């Protein structure tokens, strides 16, 4: 667990990102290269009018934000990050009306790249809605050493 | 021989079908995506707006906004290609309102080539393979220069079957 003030700062930072705010994302947990972010169901995010299922792009946005947050919380403390690539596999349609929660872990970092895995769930925590793998830039502060 | 239909009648029919398709998907309206049509070719347009920003200091587009834009462009291209064929053969009539059958995304990989500037973005999708059940689509997105892509993506989609409806 990160110190409460660091978590609070991270929450304010993430929830202030305009696009994350537009999708009403809320940071649930963050620390040590891991993050959990939730996004409520909203009829405006529907991608398939016949079923009412949220558009894959909104799930991608949640995964991307959560992946970036996991990278920023890495103990090596990067100063910035950007997505290099992100692949999403959709296991099943998210249930209309249920919020989506993404969990991301930054499982390896090099001097300049962070590797991330993420999983998204609706209220059924045993059956993922989607999984993702991504590579992010890992910008270290210029005076910080390279461990 | 029957006289060809007036061009405006054809254009109106095609545009009506396209707008019926895009206005049926709430997320397209949420992002503000528009479609420019030239014959059967579509260009998706994402007009810049402050809510699409992911990095307030740089005013750069959010990676998720870019990914969403590319996925919308791919899905609409696929749906449009199917509808176009049916429209041209007279199987469908845009006057009768039907909910479009949208393909389901199996996987989608986005390649971020440079940061998205606070400008309008454009995307075109190309269907590389479209079978009865699966389709593979590639999408390219750019801003000021057509040759300087800021993102590209490849996705696989499950096509709706007659039984699904």
- Identify the pLDDT of residue B93: 78
C-alpha to C-alpha distance for B147 and A10, rounded to whole angstroms: 37
- Identify the pLDDT of residue B89: 85
Residue A4: pLDDT band with limits 50, 70, 90: low
- Identify the pLDDT of residue B112: 97
Longest CA–CA span in chain B (Å) reads 64
Which one of B20, B21, B27, B31 makes the best mutation probe of the A interface by having the most chain A beta carbons within 10 Å? B27
- CA nearest A60 in B: which residue? B64
Residue A141: pLDDT band with limits 50, 70, 90: confident
Give me the mean pLDDT over the A90-109 stretch: 97
C-alpha to C-alpha distance for A27 and A58, rounded to whole angstroms: 16
Interchain proximity B63–A45, CB inside 8 Å: no
- Do B142 and B122 form a contact (C-beta atoms < 8 A)? yes
- Do A54 and A100 form a contact (C-beta atoms < 8 A)? yes
A113 touches chain B (CB under 8 A): no
Please list, residue by residue across B13-47, b when 16 or more beta carbons sit within 10 angstroms of its beta carbon and e when fewer do.
bbeebbebbbebbbbbebbebebeeeeeebebbbe
Q: Where are the beta strands (DSSP E) in chain B?
A: 34-38, 41-46, 53-55, 60-61, 104-112, 121-130, 134-142, 149-158
- Identify the pLDDT of residue B99: 75
Give me the mean pLDDT over the A54-65 stretch: 96
- Do B55 and B70 form a contact (C-beta atoms < 8 A)? no
Q: Where are the beta strands (DSSP E) in chain A?
A: 26-31, 34-39, 46-48, 53-54, 83-90, 100-109, 113-121, 130-137
Set of chain B residues whose Cβ sits within 8 Å of the Cβ of A50: 99-102
Does residue A146 register a pLDDT over 60? no
Interchain proximity A48–B106, CB inside 8 Å: no
Give the pairing type, strands A46-48 and A34-39: unpaired
Set of chain A residues whose Cβ sits within 8 Å of the Cβ of B109: 85-88
Interchain proximity A87–B108, CB inside 8 Å: yes
Interchain proximity A86–B67, CB inside 8 Å: yes
A104 touches chain B (CB under 8 A): no
Per-residue pLDDT of chain B (165 residues; tens, 9 = 90+): 678 888 998 899 899 999 999 999 999 999 999 999 999 999 999 999 999 999 998 999 999 999 999 999 999 999 999 998 888 888 887 777 677 889 999 999 999 999 999 999 999 999 999 998 999 999 999 999 999 999 999 999 999 875 544
N-to-C CA span, chain B: 38
B63-88 and A56-72 helices cross at what angle (nearest 10)? 160
- CA nearest A50 in B: which residue? B99
Set of chain A residues whose Cβ sits within 8 Å of the Cβ of B65: 19, 61
ipTM above threshold 0.90:
yes
- Identify the pLDDT of residue A143: 60
Tell which A residues from 44 to 103 touch B, by Cβ distance under 8 Å.
Answer: 44-50, 54-58, 60-65, 68, 82-90, 93
Interchain proximity A90–B25, CB inside 8 Å: no
Beta bridge partners of A31: A34
Interchain proximity B62–A18, CB inside 8 Å: yes
Set of chain A residues whose Cβ sits within 8 Å of the Cβ of B72: 47, 55, 57
- Do B104 and A90 form a contact (C-beta atoms < 8 A)? yes
C-alpha to C-alpha distance for B48 and B65, rounded to whole angstroms: 11
Helices (H), A1-147: 4-15, 18-22, 56-72
| B interface residues, A as partner, C-beta within 8 Å | 24-27, 29-31, 50-56, 62-65, 67-72, 75, 99-102, 104-112, 115
Percent of residues, chain B, with pLDDT higher than 70: 96
């Amino acid at each position: 667990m990160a110190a409460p003030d660091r978590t609070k700062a991270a929450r304010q930072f993430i929830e202030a990102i305009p696009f994350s705010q537009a999708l009403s994302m809320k940071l649930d947990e963050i620390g040590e290269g891991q993050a959990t972010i939730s996004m409520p169901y909203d009829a405006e995010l529907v991608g398939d009018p016949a079923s009412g299922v949220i558009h894959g792009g909104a799930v991608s946005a949640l995964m991307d934000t959560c992946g970036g947050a996991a990278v920023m919380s890495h103990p090596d403390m990067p100063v910035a990050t950007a997505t290099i690539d992100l692949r999403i596999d959709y296991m099943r349609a998210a249930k209309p009306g249920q919020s989506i929660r993404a969990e991301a872990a930054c499982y390896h970092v090099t001097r300049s790249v962070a590797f991330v895995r993420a999983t998204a769930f609706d209220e059924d925590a045993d059956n993922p809605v989607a999984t993702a793998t991504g590579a992010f830039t890992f910008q270290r502060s210029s005076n910080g050493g390279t461990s | 021989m029957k006289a060809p239909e007036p061009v405006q009648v054809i254009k109106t029919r095609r545009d009506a079908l396209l707008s019926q398709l895009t206005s049926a998907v709430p997320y397209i309206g949420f992002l503000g995506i528009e479609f420019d049509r030239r014959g059967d070719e579509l260009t998706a347009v994402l007009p810049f707006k402050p809510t699409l920003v992911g990095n307030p200091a740089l005013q750069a587009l959010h990676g998720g906004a870019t990914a969403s834009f590319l996925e919308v462009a791919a899905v609409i291209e696929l749906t449009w290609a199917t509808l176009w064929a049916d429209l041209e053969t007279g199987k469908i009539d845009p006057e009768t309102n039907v909910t479009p059958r949208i393909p389901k995304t199996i996987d989608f990989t986005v390649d971020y080539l440079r940061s998205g500037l606070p400008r309008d973005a454009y995307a075109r999708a190309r269907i590389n393979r479209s079978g009865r059940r699966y389709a593979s689509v590639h999408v390219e997105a750019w801003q000021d220069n057509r040759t300087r892509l800021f993102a590209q993506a490849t996705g696989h989609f499950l096509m709706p079957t007659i039984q699904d409806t």
